[in-house]
Amino acid sequence: MDMLLFPVVSTLHTLAAVVWVGGMFFAHLILRPTLMTEEPATRLGVWSRIFPRFFAWVWIAVGILPASGYAMVFVDFGGFAAAGRHVEVMHGLSWVMTALFVFLFFKPYPALQAAVANKDWALGAKHLATIRRIVTINLSLGVLVIIAGVSGRFWG
């Protein structure tokens, strides 16, 4: 059972990281510049239809990451002391990422949806800019966390 736990849990952990950080990478570096040439109504409309689908997956990732992470720390490593510094870095940054996502989900995201429903494109653009700033921070933190997770066993 224990022999199966680490590979399964670690795979789930990595898949959740891929979905969350990969999704932010695609949104920020591919979709955003592509949509820049569109009219505000089209651009904001597309984002307002993309976010509910993406955020549903982010919630799943935000649940799986700490659950699988703590399982690895406590079941496989036997506590944080044995897991190494890279896991502490991952742990700390991961909660910053989660807090930023929860703020984004409950503050600028519903405000963006309301602005789009009211066809208030100027206000919508303002809330989208807040979301973009948060995603920029979370994407950078996510890349750092992945670097720590993957390379940390060699230096942590």
Select the residue interacting with ligand HEM from 69, 109, 112, 134 (CB under 6 A).
69
Q: What is the dihedral of CA 132, 133, 137, 138, to 10 degrees?
A: -40
Q: Are 17 and 61 in contact (CB under 8 A)?
A: yes
CA dist 129 and 81 (Å) reads: 40
Q: Does 116 bind ligand HEM (CB under 6 A)?
A: no
Residues from 76 through 105 that contact ligand HEM (CB under 6 A): 83-84, 87, 90-91, 94, 97
CB of 152 to ligand HEM, least distance (A): 5
Q: Kindly state the tokens that stand for 115.
A: 């602005």
Q: Are 112 and 128 in contact (CB under 8 A)?
A: yes
CB of 73 to ligand HEM, least distance (A): 5
Residues that bind ligand HEM (CB under 6 A): 10, 13-14, 17, 20-21, 65-66, 69-70, 72-73, 83-84, 87, 90-91, 94, 97, 142, 145-146, 149-150, 152-153
